[in-house]
Amino acid sequence: MEAAAETYFGKPVSELTLIESAILAGLPQSPTSYSPFGQNPQAFKDRTKAVLRRMREDNYLSKDEEKQALEQLDQVEFAAEGASFKAPHFVMYVRQQLIEQYGEKLVEQGGLKVTTSLDLKLQEAAQNIVSEEISKVENLKIGNGAGLVLDTNTGEILAMVGSKDYFAEDYDGKVNVNLSLRQPGSAIKPITYVTAFEQGMTPAKMLADVATEFPGGVNLPEYKPKNYDGKDHGPVQLRLALGNSLNIPSVKLLQLVGIKNMLTTAYKMGLTTLEPTTEHVNRFGLSVTLGGGEVKLIDMAAAYSAFANGGLKVEPISILKVADQNGKTLEEFRPAAGARVISEAEAFLISDILSDNSARLITFGANSLLKIPNQQVAVKTGTTDDQRDNWAIGWTPNRIVGVWVGNNDNSRMKTVASGVSGATPIWRRIMLEVLKGQPIKGWPVTKDVASVEVDAISGQISHDGYPARHEYMIKGTEPLGADLIHTKLKLCRLPAQAGGQNQLASGPMIARGDFEEKEFIVLKEDDPAGGGRNRWQEGIDIWRSKQSDERYHFPTEFCGESNEIVVQIESPADKSKQGNDFNFKVKVTANKTVKKVTFYVDGTEKKSLTGKPYEYAAHIDGSGTYTLKVRAEDEAGNSGESEIKIGVNVDWDWSPSPSPSPSPSSSPTPLPSPS
């Protein structure tokens, strides 16, 4: 009792007041539950009231004495608000874990010796940083903050700050916000992006960042997300979309990968509150990629340890060793490799993007608080749309720091500028503390990742000398085929008055080389929601109509009304030498539907086809030169033809040698007749 009096009130038992004595009398039954320093301050008050009532019932005090004591209950001052209670949120976190493992009686009375993971120097620095920075932003109606530091290789909790002041009564300071459910805002976006990489997409994939309507669900209005800066940025690749935390591309990406698939990734990474149930899929909807589902800061830090640790996720560890009063070891933590939740290559891509300062210039600028000098640090911020939660979570290969600011009562803050105010200054100061004296260590390119030169706009393989950049992507996902986005279109050469200005050349024109090429950015997207409406393209077309850059105004109509049909014989080649059997193949270009293609050899019809492919296995007996002709007709009766000359077993220009005339036989010269 004497020790308890000193611990809680800093005085001997003989100096305790009635209310102080009643508080201590209520502790033995369950010291953890009824401790004034516990996470539920109301519990000790209720317990004290019960003690006073029992004392009155047993005639140890009168009703007036009970009433007078109760009036003092809210004014009781405890002595432990000073140096005697270090890292209170962490201590209570560890105590609760011990009780779950060994029971409350052994924990409180069994003399256990517990070794924890806490770095006390870092803990005290982090607590001071949170308290100092929150005091600077009270004018923004930011009332509280929390922070966490994990070793990404072992999961050891090095610092845990549950609030700006554990002992404050005005905002439930004893609540450990690291363990509370809060909405993460855009801090959850890396989960959507790593899901896309799992499905074969790359950081170079382009999406149009333009105002777009999305299905709002049954009996709900259309969902219209906006970017943090209120602007649309046109075509952006996933690297820039994630680095700049652009909302519209993130919602589009979620619609592409699927809500359930994204939640599945989140769940396997340890975000158990985002379990991919049908209820969650329907309740969260597309807003989950912007932080519409609640998570715990401690779970986010553990999940994102996989990004820092090559795809291996660690569990948060606070207890390293427990021994009983006789020194016998009851448990001891032995570090082990984390659980594989994403591939090493996928983890590298996320960390590389979020540590790339050039990938976040649009939103944060070149010298934001997210940039840690002389270090490679990945970081993601998040702010909920309603300004109730603001996050910053960042990591190196060895450490992860997560920070939250907001209000315990979930009231709104004033405008918080991600990367400038709120959680970011706290995160930066703690991260700098963590990195003191640490060498620069980044993420080496993994063996499954390739560096590919891509077009700076479309993200396709670079071409035509257009601006390009290098992008990392998982081997086997490199873009293939022609670039249909940032491309050259073939236009009419007809003058404007003839309807040829900025219009597409027809197939026959292209076939005969009568066109000119011009650079365009052809933005076309399909709405995955379908339903007979392409919302994505609607948004693109509205955005394009407002652009001054002519490249976005790509033509969609053909010039003139051509009835021409162009026939090109692709095989055999003109003036070639063939055997008796050869492939006869043609290409037909027409503006209308081709009805029939007929093949001729020396004017004799050999084959007639009504559909592609326009080819057949030809056979010619004998040897010699031949004329091959093809005639095509369209549904309107227009026709076109082409012909070539070939040689079969001889050169194309072979001609038979003329047969020599027989030599005349000689006749004897007649002798002159005798006269």
Whether a cis peptide bond, with omega within 30° of 0, leads into 672 is no
Residue 176: predicted pLDDT: 96
- For residue 245, give the nearest of 466, 405, 424, 451 by alpha carbon: 424
Question: Position of tokens 């590919």?
Answer: 452
Count of CB atoms situated within 10 Å of the CB of 88 = 24
Q: What is the pLDDT of residue 497?
A: 46
What are the helix (H) ranges across 375-528?
A: 423-434, 507-511
Residues 6 or more apart whose Cβ sits within 8 Å of residue 325: 110, 111, 112, 113
- C-alpha to C-alpha distance for 484 and 70, rounded to whole angstroms: 78
pLDDT given for residue 661 in this prediction: 57
Which pLDDT score, from 0 to 100, does residue 82 have?
46
By three-state DSSP, how is residue 10 classified? coil
Q: Are 525 and 207 in contact (CB under 8 A)?
A: yes
Distance, in Å, from the CA atom of 610 to the CA atom of 651, rounded to the nearest integer, reads 32
Distance separating alpha carbons of residues 31 and 96, to the nearest angstrom: 12
Number of other residues whose CB lies within 10 A of the CB of residue 55: 19
Query: Is residue 363 within a helix (H) or strand (E), and if so which, with residue range?
Result: helix 361-364
CB atoms under 10 Å from CB of 445, counted, come to: 13
Q: What is the DSSP letter of 317?
A: B
pLDDT digits (tens, 9 = 90+) for 488-524: 999 988 665 454 467 888 878 888 888 999 999 999 9
Asked if residues 329 and 115 have their Cβ atoms less than 8 Å apart, the reply is no
**Whole-number Å distance between alpha carbons of 673 and 675:** 6
Per DSSP, the residues of 470-505 read EEEEETT----S--SSEEEEEE--S-GGGT-TT-BP
d(CA 275, CA 266): 8
Please give the structure tokens belonging to residue 60.
């140890």
Instruction: Evaluate the CA torsion angle 354, 356, 357, 361 in order and state its sign.
Output: negative
Q: How many CB atoms lie within 10 A of CB 324?
A: 14
What is the C-alpha to C-alpha distance for residues 356 and 378, in angstroms, rounded to an integer?
8
Q: Read off the DSSP letter of residue 573.
A: P
Residues of the chain under the 50 pLDDT cut: 82-83, 497, 499-500, 669, 671-675
> How far is CA 509 from each of CA 484, 505, 513, 533, 631, rounded to the nearest angstrom?
20, 6, 6, 34, 18
Distance, CA of 92 to CA of 112 (rounded, Å): 15
Query: Around Cβ 153, how many Cβ atoms within 10 Å?
Result: 18
Domains annotated for the chain, with CATH where assigned, are 1-85 (1.10.3810.10), 129-434 (3.40.710.10), 448-479 (no CATH), 486-552 (no CATH), 565-648 (2.60.40.10)
> In this predicted model, what pLDDT tens digit does every residue of 593-618 receive, in sequence order?
899 999 999 999 999 999 999 999 99
Residues 6+ apart with CB under 8 A from 365: none
- Contacts with 313 (C-beta within 8 Å, 6 or more apart), sequence order: 269, 270, 302, 303, 305, 306, 338, 339, 340, 341
What are the respective helix, strand and coil percentages of the chain, to the nearest 5? 35, 25, 45
Q: How far apart are alpha carbons 119 and 121 in whole angstroms?
A: 6
Written as six digits, the tokens of 615 are 């080819």
The pLDDT of residue 656: 82
The full length of the chain comes to 675
351 closest CA partner among 393, 318, 385, 407:
393
pTM for this entry: 0.80
CA distance between the termini of the chain: 182
Establish how many alpha carbons lie within 13 A of residue 284's alpha carbon, considering only the half-sphere containing its beta carbon: 29
Q: Report pLDDT for 673.
A: 47
Distances (CA, A) of 453 to 202, 242, 462, 463: 13, 20, 6, 9
- Asked if 397 and 375 count as a contact pair (C-beta separation under 8 A), the reply is no
Q: Which pLDDT score is estimated for 233? A: 98
Contact 342, 361 (CB under 8 A): no
pLDDT score for 549 = 96
Q: Is 59 helix (H, G, I), strand (E, B) or coil?
A: coil
Q: What local confidence, expressed as pLDDT, does residue 259 receive? A: 97
